[in-house]
Copies of this chain bind each other. A is one copy, B any other.
């Protein structure tokens, strides 16, 4: 883990094994030094630069336990909203989707297929702590991940620019409002055709201008929040 926000979240969730900090970072974040069970190890700015994979290192690092959990634990307890990323390789996108899923109140994030490691430094930073807030699972077998979602009572919805359902069609709102697993693919190729065909519905985010598409994290945000909004409408049928 790198950076004060990520380290703070890791401490809050009891995940820190070792803490490394520069003098300057210690002065900026004294609250982080006494929080863990272990004493910090002091490092130089030069060591911080070599540990860091950012251009301007914050000077605070932690070695943490891995956070991912098995699929059956992610999907336990009647989930209502799950985000599934299929073969998403960009760590920034994965971290941002974990953050958005957390904000939308999702029960879990599943990284299926040949996906980026959620412990990747860039993914951790982009998640801004959300990696610790909800269960995150890696499952190489995409078909198994989708079968598990269906077995958990989730309707499988693929976000697909050529989908047969329009996200904003009022007739689609009851589908969005139910227990759903939203399935997102990599930005270059989308969800693999076999996966898209195996899902119950393919849903398109309507494009009204001349953009060819949305980027992955913004599309995921629009889809996950569409489910949140649709539930809200259905819970107040008088409105």
Given the known A-B contacts A96-B218, A170-B233, are A102 and B210 also in contact in the complex, defined by CB atoms under 8 Å?
Answer: yes
Instruction: Pick from B133, B228, B236: contact of A211, CB below 8 A.
Output: B133
Q: B236–A208 contact, CB under 8 A? A: no
Given contacts A217-B218, A218-B218, 19 further A-B contacts (CB under 8 A): A96-B215, A96-B218, A102-B210, A102-B211, A103-B213, A126-B215, A128-B213, A133-B210, A134-B209, A168-B228, A168-B232, A168-B233, A169-B232, A170-B232, A171-B239, A205-B225, A222-B225, A225-B226, A226-B229
Q: B128–A209 contact, CB under 8 A? A: no
Interface string of A25-44 (1 = CB under 8 A from B): 00000000000000000000
The chain B residue with its CB closest to the CB of A209 is: B102
Interface string of A190-233 (1 = CB under 8 A from B): 00000000000000011111111111011111100110110011
What B residues does A103 contact at CB under 8 A?
205, 207-209, 211, 213-214
Q: Which of A94-138 contact B (CB under 8 A)?
A: 96, 99-106, 126, 128-130, 133-134
Q: Which of A133-157 contact B (CB under 8 A)?
A: 133-134
- CA A239 to CA B172, docked complex, whole Å: 11
- CA A208 to CA B170, docked complex, whole Å: 23
What B residues does A221 contact at CB under 8 A?
214, 218-219, 221-222
How distant is A205 from chain B, measured CB to nearest CB, in Å? Answer: 7
The chain B residue with its CB closest to the CB of A236 is: B170
How distant is A225 from chain B, measured CB to nearest CB, in Å? Answer: 5
How distant is A209 from chain B, measured CB to nearest CB, in Å? Answer: 4
How distant is A77 from chain B, measured CB to nearest CB, in Å? Answer: 15
- CA A100 to CA B206, docked complex, whole Å: 11
- CA A205 to CA B232, docked complex, whole Å: 13
- CA A210 to CA B101, docked complex, whole Å: 10
The chain B residue with its CB closest to the CB of A232 is: B168
What B residues does A213 contact at CB under 8 A?
103, 128
- CA A99 to CA B219, docked complex, whole Å: 11
What B residues does A99 contact at CB under 8 A?
211, 214-215, 218
